[in-house]
Copies of this chain bind each other. A is one copy, B any other.
């Protein structure tokens, strides 16, 4: 019998999470559509905004995303003039990021639309529940999961 049909079977936590992410992502994307920003870009702009000219590595760490992925994601935002980078004064390896005035303006515009979506969401699930969900998600994100290091059989 399929393992998937065993009594104790539990659905994949990861698949469930991604499914929800796709669903919610579309909602926030729709809300932000008028700004031309994707919800992911909004989140990135926001993260930069609330940081102090963060280094790329710092942003990547905060968002738990691959450094190279961050670099890729940043490109369209730089191309469109919302973000600019500059070398760190003390360590030439470090590249810092900041919003341009245009980026700040775009973020303001986006925050208004985001607020509507966010409100819509919280009205549906309840602010309380939403907060709990975010806390749970943060906990999951920060779990220090590690595979049992496939015990070398020697």
Contacts and interface: CB of A to CB of B under 8 A. Distances in A.
B20 A17 contact: yes
Interface string A113-133: 011111011101101011101
A25 B143 CA distance: 12
Contacts of A4: 46, 49-50, 111
Given A10-B130, A131-B10, A145-B124, A138 B16 contact: yes
A interface majority secondary structure: helix
Contacts of A21: 14, 17-18, 21
Interface stretch (A26-34, A75-83, A87-95): A26-34
How many subunits of this chain does the assembly comprise? 2
A17 B12 contact: no
Contacts of A105: none
Contacts of A114: 12
Contacts of A22: 63-65, 141
Given A22-B64, A23-B143, A133-B140, A121 B17 contact: no
Nearest to A63: B19
Given A13-B118, A13-B133, 5 more contacts: A12-B118, A14-B25, A17-B24, A20-B137, A21-B21
13 contacts: A4-B46, A4-B50, A4-B111, A10-B118, A10-B122, A12-B42, A13-B121, A13-B130, A15-B46, A17-B17, A23-B141, A30-B147, A117-B147
